[in-house]
Amino acid sequence: MAEAITKNKFGDKIYVDSIGVNEKLSKINPFAVAVMAEMGIDIANHKAQDFDDLNDNSFDLIIAFSPEAHKRALQLTEGHSTEVEYWPMDDPTGTEGNRENILSAFRTLRDKLVRKIDERLQC
């Protein structure tokens, strides 16, 4: 979601790539697809990547959303001048209840990402 939001807002002004650190990220969550579609952003065909899939590790900034990703980013950038930031985010995939409850959790994450990206990456 963060990659798609950033690409939508900044186009080619910022190079952005996203990766995950756990197996459940290998398939795009249909609730994530739904809430991004509400913003006019199609992520249905997004293919999740892993740290091992990176072709390049010369990033200026890495933003991690989980403790595991933060740890991996710090290991990856050891000895580099890359900034690593940790933005703790609630994982909506564990939300229980009806469809609207789950969508609400994904909307909350999406909206938080939009705010944080706007604040941090103003161009």
Name the pLDDT band for 15 (thresholds 50, 70, 90).
confident
Each residue of 94-109: pLDDT tens digit? 999 999 999 999 999 9
CATH topology assigned to domain 2-120: Rossmann fold (3.40.50)
Higher-pLDDT residue of 18 and 97 is 97
Q: For residue 76, what pLDDT is reported? A: 86
pTM (predicted TM-score): 0.88
Closest CA to 68 of 91, 44, 45: 91
Q: Are 64 and 86 in contact (CB under 8 A)?
A: yes
Each residue of 53-87: pLDDT tens digit? 776 667 889 999 999 999 999 998 888 889 999 99
Q: How far apart are CA 110 and CA 113, in angstroms?
A: 5
